[in-house]
Chains A and B, each alone.
Chain A
Amino acid sequence: MSMNEGEKRLNGADILLKALEREGVDLIFGYPGGVFLPLYDALLDSPIRHILARHEQGVAHAADGYARVTGKVGVCLATSGPGATNLVTGITNAYMDSIPLVVLTGQVVTGLLGTDSFQEADITGITTPITKHSYLVKDAREIPRIVKEAFYLAGTGRPGPVLIDLPKDILAMEIEPLPADMNLRGSSAGSGRQR
Chain B
Amino acid sequence: MPGQGDSARIAEAAKALSECRKPVIYAGGGVITAGAGGVLRQLAEKASLPVVTTLMGIGCLPYEHPNLLGMVGLHGAVAANYAVDDCDLLLAVGVRFDDRVTSGLGHLFATKARIIHIDIDLAEIAKVVRTHIPIVGDARLVLEELLTVLEGFSAPRVTAWWEQLRDWKSYYPVRYDRDRLTPQLVIECMGELAGEDTMVITDVGQHQMWAAQVYPIVKSRNFVTSGGLGTMGFGLPAAMGAQIARPNDLVFLITGDGSFQMCIQELATIAHNKLPVKIVLLNNGVLGMVRQLQKFFYGERYSQTDLDGNPDFVKVAEAYGIRGIRVDSHEQVRSAISEGLKHPGPVLLEFMISRDDDVLPIVPPGKPITEMLGR
Contacts and interface: CB of A to CB of B under 8 A. Distances in A.
Interface of A: 27, 29, 51-55, 57-72, 74, 89-90, 92-93, 96-98, 157-159, 188
Nearest to A54: B265
A21 to B, nearest CB: 18
A195 to B, nearest CB: 10
A22 B160 CA distance: 56
B226 A58 contact: no
B229 interface: yes
Contact of A58 (B224, B227, B229, B236): B236
Interface stretch (B10-18, B105-113, B125-133, B241-249): B241-249
A61 B33 contact: no
B121 interface: yes
Nearest to B267: A54
B193 interface: no
A58 B263 contact: yes
Given A54-B268, A59-B237, A158 B231 contact: no
Contacts of A90: 231
B269 A97 contact: no
B229 A97 contact: yes
A52 B275 CA distance: 13
B193 to A, nearest CB: 20
10 nearest A-B residue pairs (beta carbon): A96-B228, A65-B238, A65-B241, A62-B241, A61-B237, A58-B237, A66-B241, A54-B265, A158-B121, A65-B242
Contact of B244 (A27, A60, A96): A27
Interface string B214-258: 000000011010111101011011111110111000000000000
A93 B201 contact: no
B339 to A, nearest CB: 25
B229 A93 contact: yes
Interface centre among A29, A55, A188 (most CB of B within 10 A): A55
Given A61-B238, A159-B33, A69 B246 contact: yes
B273 interface: yes
Nearest to A27: B244
Nearest to B269: A53
B277 to A, nearest CB: 10
A82 to B, nearest CB: 15
A61 B263 contact: yes
8 contacts: A52-B272, A54-B268, A54-B269, A62-B241, A62-B269, A64-B241, A65-B238, A66-B242
B199 interface: yes
B33 A69 contact: no
B228 A62 contact: no
B35 interface: yes
Contacts of A157: 120-121
Interface in B196-225: 199, 201, 221-222, 224
A94 B236 CA distance: 15
Contacts of A158: 30, 120-121
Contacts of B199: 69
B227 A96 contact: yes
Contacts of B266: 53-55, 58, 62
Nearest to B243: A65
B5 interface: no
B167 to A, nearest CB: 34
Interface centre among A27, A69, A97 (most CB of B within 10 A): A69
Contacts of A51: 240, 244, 269, 273
A27 B243 CA distance: 13
B29 interface: yes
B246 A68 contact: no
Contacts of A70: 221, 245-246
B296 to A, nearest CB: 26
Contacts of B242: 65-66, 68-69
A61 B234 contact: yes
B84 interface: no
Nearest to A130: B229
Contact of B229 (A27, A62, A92): A92
B333 interface: no
A193 B83 CA distance: 43
Contact of B245 (A52, A69, A159): A69
Contacts of B29: 97-98
B239 A65 contact: yes
A55 B263 contact: yes
B233 A57 contact: yes
A67 B233 CA distance: 17
Contact of B263 (A57, A63, A97): A57
B56 A57 contact: no
B2 interface: yes
A57 B35 CA distance: 28
B205 to A, nearest CB: 15
Contacts of A97: 29, 56, 226-229
B33 A98 contact: yes
Contacts of B228: 93, 96-97
A29 B241 contact: yes
